[in-house]
Structure 1
């Protein structure tokens, strides 16, 4: 099997290949930039968490050394607990809402499946009727 391409076709194929390569490289560069941004965000979050951990460790050491709880620490812990409870309640409510939507979507999907089956049956019946009509007319 011999393949013959004109110079124009070869040039066109080469241009398409370069375009695909350029597109691929652009996508790679974009993904790399996204990964770098994500890494920067993660590093920043890590530094913040390390700072908070050091502060908590220092407060814990003070409590252990002095034997009394810092009022500010107690207020912060109470605030953190309140925020955690609020977030927990909100997430629970969102979960219930999503679960309800999922259940409704499943019910709707089942109805649509039934309709598809009914349409397929009707389609087959009409096809059979058409075939019988063709046979009667002699087509």
Structure 2
């Protein structure tokens, strides 16, 4: 997307005050010290609000510093304490070793491997999950 489209998207997301069933919500990730944007995390709630899925993106310049795992653990804690969510899931492409490591270090467990088409390419992904009783 263009810079202008990105700005509009960020403004629309900032206007949201809660998570809504069956919709994605993007949350910015900022460095605590500098307040610079270092990534984002997208969260989706199932229609019955008992399951959440997320996707994470951390800018390559700061990868490897623990920000991803910290964000994932914080998101899981927030979802379990402030919503009816009982399970949090995430899917990572098998080629994305950094993301797979983040999910494993965040207390999530590898549950399944699936293939799906993404942007015209067949991709293999690992599905990770954590349940409220486990978290």
TM-score by length of 2: 0.17
Ranked by relative contact order (alpha carbons within 8 Å, sequence separation 6 or more), the top structure is 2
Q: So what's the TM-score if we normalise by structure 1?
A: 0.17
More strand by share: 2
The structure richer in helix per residue is 1
